Structure 1
Amino acid sequence: MVKNSKINLRIYCSGHVIYSLRHSIFRREYRSSNFHFSKIKHERHFTSSVLSPVTPSVYNLFDEMPKRDNRTVEASFMFLRDVLRSFMMRIETETPRSIHCFALKCGFLQDLATSSKLLTIYGRTGDLVSSLGLFGELKEKDVIVWNSMITCLNQNGRYIAAVGLFVEMIHKGNEFDSTTLLLAVSALSSLHLSKKCPMVHCLAIETGLVSDSSLCNALMNLYAKGEDLSSAECVFTHMEHRDIVSWNTIMTKCLANGYPRNSLIYFKSMIGSGQEADNVTFSCVISACSCLEELPLGESLHGLVIKSGYSPEAHVSVANSIISMYSKCGDIEAAETVFEELLCKDVISWNAILNGLSANGMFEEAFGILKEMQSVDKIQPDISTVVSITSICGDFCLSREGRAIHGYTVRREMQSRALEVINSVIDMYGKCGLTTQAEFLFKTTTHRDLVSWNSMISAFAQNGFTQEAKNLFREVVSEYTCSKFSLSTVLAILTSCDSSDSLIFGKSVHCWLQKLGDLTSAFLLLEMIFETRDLTSWNSVIYGCASSGHHLESLRAFQAMSREGKIRHDLITLLGTISASGNLRLVLQGRCLHGLAIKSLRELDTQLQNTLITMYGRCKDTESAVKVFGLISDPNLCSWNCVISALSQNKAGREVFQLFRNLKLEPNEITFVGLLSASTQLGSTSYGMQAHCHLIRRGFQANPFVSAALVDMYSSCGMLETGMKVFRNSGVKSISAWNSVISAYGFHGMGEKAMELFKEMSSGNSGMEPNKSTFISLLSACSHSGFINEGLRYYNQMEEKFGVKPVTEHRVCIVDMLGRAGKLKEAYEFIIGIGEPQKAGVWGALLSACNYHGDTKLGTEVAEVLFEMEPDNASYYISLANTYVGLGGWDEAVRLRKIVEDNALKKLPGYSVIDVSVG
């Protein structure tokens, strides 16, 4: 056995990194092998910030090393494992490099278990450069090594690199496990990339790893962090095994996203399932009771906490939640009792009772608590304490006490650490009438946020400095974009617009508020005028939401008004809600509102009946639309246009022309657009040309929407040249006209012409910017004409060059284009590479391509995805069955057809139209 041997070992890593090791081997008796090792003394020269993979010449150096006795190697390996296991528990900065050198000397570096442990130690000591170098040197990497490296990156705050390594791992086809996905979710959470959660979720489902409860808990957390609570609940619902963390995650996330009642519902389900609650559970559900001000339920939960043995001393967080709950529900005596009985109070406990006393108007008691808090060892007021007590000083105009608190924050240097402290002091000075002090603090603050500006504007406005308030508001307009305004900004300045001299400025503020389009602010304002809000207030929100495209919010506002029961709806209310129902395709909701209108109104207004016709048309209930039209005693032109539009939208072209023959009024442009749309559906040039003649006589051919409809009609009916003449002769060309003619060229297989027209349109001379529909037409033209490279180039330029974000229709075009060319693998990789779940239309395009090219293997895989997404869609079963028939797979085809028959699935029938002109 060799003792105290001197070794000089230089390791050259791609010419960048040199380790120089001079040491006496470990002096320690290793009983199993009778080895004696001395402690390593080493020197290290590190000349690069990035480790590169070891070059082949380095490996040759190790190959030439003398062969060791097997027993010696085994003993050394066991010793190395022991050392690694030991230092996994206690990390010293220099230790990993010593172990690394020993592993290199003994030839154990390629042992994956050893390498992964060494990576972990490097990560914990913060030596990321060495961990990257070791990772790069490894010829073979298993999933544990990859996981160890991703963990290193996460531990050292390199989250983007961690996600990048995860993506590289997937692209290389390496195996991964639930830990890999868990690490990826952790990195995405740290980067606030909640939108990427579905990508990881899909991988988990595809590989069967979704059964891992820890991974599901992380997915729920990430979904909820991005305010996608429905997806988080979906993960929870499909979990095979739920632990206490699963229940706590879904409950806390419901609470955090503003659904405290859902938290309580989940708690009830958890108790029913036999799962015992813990301190996190109780803290959450008691906080939910606090939000809902459900005192009886809160008291019951308090009793359950005591019964479950959760003592306040052991679980102070539960006690803090109980204090806050009693305070919020107005039972301050109970809150004080819990607080006084709590022996191990933390700063949150003191803040909870202080806020409770403040909220219940007991400001003298609150100051008493603050004084008592300062006398307790190891407990000092924090930022939350200061903000709470400063708010009390402002609300009760306690300027003397407020100055003292300000002095305390300066002594403790809180202002330099927390902007909310400065904002609260500015607000306090403003409420106490000390505008000069507020302004001085505002101007000397180097970092301001919108709250700072709002507080100062409010301070000026409340104390009669109206001009200063207006000037500051103008400054904030130039400092922030409209999208960053808040309702508080507008409310702060409005009090300075109460004189006739401020009328113009007040109107300007109103315009700014309308530019905001801040739906949340509108609802907050409605909530703030709880006692005085009337029908006009509700209608402003209900009809305003429906008019600006926020249809679901419109219906929710109507439901809130109905539940309140104080105010009865009127015609304006119904116009907004019926319109919202139509846009959301909620036919049952629309019928209920129709019934409510009949019940509550003496007679149906024509405007309301027109809205009903439009609603039924959008919900594809043409029969009801025609019935409503028939009940109108004196229909106006808008009524006729509504029913024509409803019929033409639902492919009832012949009924449109039958109805038009009975029109006694003078038609307008909207009427003819409906007629031309019906002609296009019927493929009827005779009807279309008659409509064209009518509108020429009335001088409507110059209307851009009419000319777009004409182009669409002629090109769809095979008269492309005529359509182009209409397009070129029209004066002002709408974006719809450009899209129609690009689509027409593509439909007729003239892709080059379509691309030329797109180039003309996007050159800037046309005055038009391509939109979503433009690219659908263009990509479809490339698909029909086989211009694959051009189509992919346009797709890649959409968002980057033209600012048009790709949607499902664009992706369907790309998949169809690749599928037509037989590039099925590329089409499949395109879908997977999008990084988020795609709708059935995209997968359906790939299934059609598989059917056309007879690829049953990929077709079956794609069909399985579609069966899961739309199990009742017979088209997918029939398409796959036809693929099998084409290849002689009759048994499989029969099986699929039988599924369609057994489940009574129906495929929508196709139809053909022959236009017969009778001379």
Structure 2
Amino acid sequence: MLCSASPLPSPPAGGTAASDHHARLRAAAARSDLPGALAAFVAMSSSAPASAAGPVLRTFTSLLKLCAARSDLATGRTVHAQLATRGLVAEALAATALANMYAKCRRPGDARRVFDRMPVRDRVAWNALVAGYARNGLAGAAMEMVVRMQEEDGERPDSVTLVSVLPACADAQALGACREVHAFAVRGGFDEFVNVSTAILDVYCKCGAVEVARAVFNQMPVKNSVSWNAMIKGYAENGNSTEALALFKRMVGEGVEVTDVSILAALHACGELGFLDEGRRVHELLVRIGLDSNVSVMNALITMYCKCKRTDLAAQVFDELRYKTRISWNSMILGCTQNGRSDDAVRLFSRMQLENVKPDSFTLVSVIPALADISDPLQARWIHGYSIRLHLDQDVYVLTALIDMYAKCGRVGIARNLFNSARERHVITWNAMIHGYGSHGFGKVAVELFEEMKSTGRVPNETTFLSVLSACSHAGLVDEGRKYFSSMKEDYGLEPGMEHYGTIVDLLGRAGKLDEAWSFIQKMPIDPGISVYGAMLGACKLHKNVELAEESANRIFELGPEEGVYHVLLANIYANASMWKDVARVRTAMEKKGLQKSPGWSIVQLKNEIHTFYSGSTNHQQAKDIYARLAKLIDEIKAVGYVPDTDSIHDVEDDVKAQLLNTHSEKLAIAYGLIRTAPGTTIQIKKNLRVCNDCHNATKLISLVTGREIIMRDIQRFHHFKDGKCSCGDYW
């Protein structure tokens, strides 16, 4: 018997369409086509019957993951609405995906609301919320969720939980919490997971426990490139550049994959250590592995070369960059500024503007010190106005740089006005103003400002004390200087550095307390450096003490100075005491060591042109007029009592001594300034050495006979000459 065939059952309405939409959604998600995926999802949701909830839940997670990856909050909300209309929001899979999407779209509050409405939460849901809080900088909330997941739902953290919460421990600098997570990982065997151990050592590094991190690193049975990078970066960021570089070299030697992270850390280490040759080898390596197209790496390379004092190599890298970011410009400008190439820094800044790269606060903080070094009040006013137009003049770092710049341009009054106008004062702002007063010889005002700073509750740092001690030294405030030096450690727990000790020696030495200064040196808890003995040697010259000068100089020569300034200073001390054999001995020693005296120069800037003068130089195009004006000046100041101070010149006749004094670089610069500027205009000059006694006396009288104010910035401080007097009170 033949049996008739039974008809096939009809498919559910819309089933085929839903399947098609599902395929379209998966395909769109695979190619990261968010609009296409959304269209497929909406079509699928509208065509699928209520019984198709399972397929919808399995497919819509692809769309939400895409929204999360793109931080597309608007589309994510649309999906959320579609799920709500179908009554699927409470499903664990749906809620977890939504919470993850909101967290990655920087809406942790929305993620928490979705999470709180879940009737049942699994470990995946808890992990999503922990990761969301950590990713959004809510470290406390992330750590709290780890505790709650165990207490409320009895969910035991897994490796995903640990890797999610550890960055939160780092952000909160919660070393104790890190240790707890570490202990939990060891007990649960999670420390054998390379990603968990890497996260643990990374947190230890970020909490400053770099040696503990190294112990974790050494015990890891398996290390990947990320592990090496985390350890190398940890050393670099904790100031141990030597270990960072050593570990990087070991990493390369063992054939571990080098990435941009390890290259960045290695370049940082080379720059901090000043290891040019090592830096060049890292440069060659990064080119071989194709990282020379990575702009962040190339910016770090520029910084490394600048820190190794090779701005020429940095400029070569900079010029060859096909795409320069603002950070590229900032790195190059800062490098020029820090290496004394102020003019180049300013030119780069101008070029940056011509290429329509908008400066930020870091750009200004990089270029303003260059303008401060140039000491041109006109350019100072221009950059100040420019910072106002950019609405950056109240940025605390920009404002501090402006205050420092005006002080170094001889405009300490303007600097104080800016200081008074500051809405926010960081400790560096106070430091800049205190230092500005000190460098201008206004020691008492500097001390008053320091006391005001303390009264506001602002805690001084090492730089603050260095500034106030220097101010005391320039003004002869010996008792105050002693008091503040003691207060540094007793009241604030700050350990004095070499510069602090050198400043106290300078303070005592200037005041003629040479025995006390020498005794102070002998009792120092650290080995005195060149700066300390150099301050003592300068005081010995000032007060003509040959015995202590010899002691100080011998200690300096044992330390191997790279410059001949201390030999010259000792030779001058011998010459003043008519000890000619000793003068010859010191000069011979200089020649054998290949040391040379730095030539003295003075500059005056007029109409954006810098004019440099050396003692006795005749190569200026207006040399004839300059010497004629100078000869007339000498006659004029002699008429009001000028007598050349020839003590600093030896081995020549008296009339030659006077002639040599009359052609010192600062006198030539002043004469040129008088020729080129209108009567009554302030003349400002900058000198690379300490102004000599003769030029100081002569400049006071020049200010008297010409009715001009003359501002002179020498290597140590400012001198404001007006009406025959100097702001230093002849104490410098």
TM-score (normalizing by structure 1):
0.48
Corresponding residue to 1:391 among 365, 369, 374: 369
What residue number does 2:385 align with?
A: 407
CA contact (8 A) 1:286 1:298 kept: yes
What residue number does 2:639 align with?
A: none
CA distance in 2 between counterparts of 1:159 and 1:527 reads: 45
- Pair 159,287 (structure 1): closer, same or farther in 2 beyond 3 Å: closer
Q: How does 1:271-310 map to 2 (within 5 A)?
A: 271-310=252-291
SS in 2 for 1:88: helix
1:198 is displaced (CA, Å) by 0.8
- Pair 539,325 (structure 1): closer, same or farther in 2 beyond 3 Å: farther
What residue number does 2:360 align with?
A: 382
CA contact (8 A) 1:374 1:380 kept: yes
Alignment pair present for 1:541 and 2:519: no
1:380 alignment partner AA: K
SS in 2 for 1:114: helix
CA distance in 2 between counterparts of 1:529 and 1:274 reads: 53
Alignment pair present for 1:511 and 2:486: yes
| Structure 1 moving runs of 4+ over 6 Å | 25-28, 32-35, 526-536
CA distance in 1 between counterparts of 2:268 and 2:505 reads: 24
Q: How does 1:590-669 map to 2 (within 5 A)?
A: none
CA contact (8 A) 2:275 2:308 kept: yes
Corresponding residue to 2:144 among 145, 148, 164: 164
CA distance in 1 between counterparts of 2:465 and 2:263 reads: 40
What residue number does 1:114 align with?
A: 94
Alignment pair present for 1:368 and 2:347: yes
- Pair 329,26 (structure 1): closer, same or farther in 2 beyond 3 Å: farther
CA contact (8 A) 2:446 2:471 kept: yes
CA distance in 2 between counterparts of 1:78 and 1:538 reads: 85
- Pair 411,149 (structure 1): closer, same or farther in 2 beyond 3 Å: same
1:146 is displaced (CA, Å) by 0.8
CA contact (8 A) 2:472 2:478 kept: yes
1:333 is displaced (CA, Å) by 2.3
Residues matched between the structures, number: 480
What residue number does 1:256 align with?
A: 237
What residue number does 2:18 align with?
A: 30
CA distance in 1 between counterparts of 2:232 and 2:505 reads: 29
- Pair 135,326 (structure 1): closer, same or farther in 2 beyond 3 Å: closer
CA contact (8 A) 1:497 1:503 kept: yes
SS in 1 for 2:477: helix
SS in 2 for 1:497: helix
Higher relative contact order (CA 8 A, sep 6+): 2
CA distance in 2 between counterparts of 1:499 and 1:367 reads: 31
What residue number does 2:78 align with?
A: 95
Gaps of at least 5 residues in structure 1 are: 1-24, 36-70, 545-563, 568-919
What residue number does 1:193 align with?
A: 174
- Pair 89,534 (structure 1): closer, same or farther in 2 beyond 3 Å: farther
1:210 is displaced (CA, Å) by 1.4
Corresponding residue to 1:490 among 437, 460, 465: 465
Q: How does 1:51-90 map to 2 (within 5 A)?
A: 75-90=52-67
- Pair 342,565 (structure 1): closer, same or farther in 2 beyond 3 Å: same
Describe the superposition over 1:872-892 as per-residue Cα deviations: whole angstroms up to 9, x where unpaired: xxxxxxxxxxxxxxxxxxxxx
CA contact (8 A) 2:473 2:503 kept: no
CA distance in 2 between counterparts of 1:190 and 1:468 reads: 42
CA distance in 2 between counterparts of 1:489 and 1:330 reads: 28
CA contact (8 A) 1:394 1:402 kept: yes
1:351 alignment partner AA: N
Q: How does 1:522-561 map to 2 (within 5 A)?
A: 522=497, 525=500, 540-541=524-525
1:351 is displaced (CA, Å) by 2.1
- Pair 496,302 (structure 1): closer, same or farther in 2 beyond 3 Å: closer
SS in 1 for 2:367: helix
Q: How does 1:830-909 map to 2 (within 5 A)?
A: none
CA contact (8 A) 1:347 1:381 kept: yes
1:353 is displaced (CA, Å) by 2.2
What residue number does 2:565 align with?
A: none
CA contact (8 A) 1:81 1:114 kept: no
1:471 is displaced (CA, Å) by 1.5
SS in 2 for 1:236: helix
1:115 is displaced (CA, Å) by 2.9
1:240 is displaced (CA, Å) by 2.5
1:525 is displaced (CA, Å) by 4.2
SS in 2 for 1:258: coil
CA distance in 1 between counterparts of 2:217 and 2:519 reads: 41
Describe the superposition over 1:748-787 as per-residue Cα deviations: whole angstroms up to 9, x where unpaired: xxxxxxxxxxxxxxxxxxxxxxxxxxxxxxxxxxxxxxxx
Gaps of at least 5 residues in structure 2 are: 1-12, 24-47, 68-72, 510-516, 529-555, 560-732
- Pair 521,221 (structure 1): closer, same or farther in 2 beyond 3 Å: farther
Describe the superposition over 1:475-501 as per-residue Cα deviations: whole angstroms up to 9, x where unpaired: 1121236xx321111121123324897
CA distance in 1 between counterparts of 2:259 and 2:505 reads: 38
CA distance in 2 between counterparts of 1:330 and 1:33 reads: 63
What residue number does 2:183 align with?
A: 202
- Pair 206,566 (structure 1): closer, same or farther in 2 beyond 3 Å: farther
CA distance in 2 between counterparts of 1:528 and 1:266 reads: 39
CA distance in 1 between counterparts of 2:211 and 2:310 reads: 35
What residue number does 1:327 align with?
A: 306
SS in 2 for 1:446: coil
Alignment pair present for 1:227 and 2:208: yes
1:519 is displaced (CA, Å) by 4.8
- Pair 218,528 (structure 1): closer, same or farther in 2 beyond 3 Å: farther
- Pair 566,235 (structure 1): closer, same or farther in 2 beyond 3 Å: farther
Alignment pair present for 1:216 and 2:197: yes
- Pair 353,233 (structure 1): closer, same or farther in 2 beyond 3 Å: same
Give the root-mean-square deviation of aligned CA atoms: 3.5
What residue number does 2:404 align with?
A: 427
Q: How does 1:33-48 map to 2 (within 5 A)?
A: none
2:94 alignment partner AA: T
Describe the superposition over 1:388-423 as per-residue Cα deviations: whole angstroms up to 9, x where unpaired: 21111223323222221111111101123x211001
CA contact (8 A) 1:350 1:373 kept: yes
Identify the range of structure 1 (249-258 vs 325-334) with the bigger mean alpha-carbon deviation: 325-334
CA contact (8 A) 1:188 1:196 kept: yes
CA contact (8 A) 2:346 2:370 kept: no
Q: How does 1:789-808 map to 2 (within 5 A)?
A: none
CA distance in 1 between counterparts of 2:14 and 2:78 reads: 12
- Pair 373,109 (structure 1): closer, same or farther in 2 beyond 3 Å: same
2:238 alignment partner AA: N
2:397 alignment partner AA: E
- Pair 359,499 (structure 1): closer, same or farther in 2 beyond 3 Å: closer
CA distance in 1 between counterparts of 2:175 and 2:465 reads: 32
CA distance in 2 between counterparts of 1:537 and 1:320 reads: 44
1:235 is displaced (CA, Å) by 1.9
CA contact (8 A) 1:220 1:232 kept: yes
- Pair 414,175 (structure 1): closer, same or farther in 2 beyond 3 Å: same
CA distance in 1 between counterparts of 2:474 and 2:439 reads: 14
CA contact (8 A) 2:343 2:370 kept: no
2:319 alignment partner AA: E
SS in 2 for 1:447: coil
CA distance in 1 between counterparts of 2:240 and 2:504 reads: 23
SS in 1 for 2:497: helix
Alignment pair present for 1:346 and 2:325: yes
What residue number does 1:732 align with?
A: none
CA contact (8 A) 1:188 1:194 kept: yes
1:215 alignment partner AA: V
CA contact (8 A) 1:33 1:72 kept: no
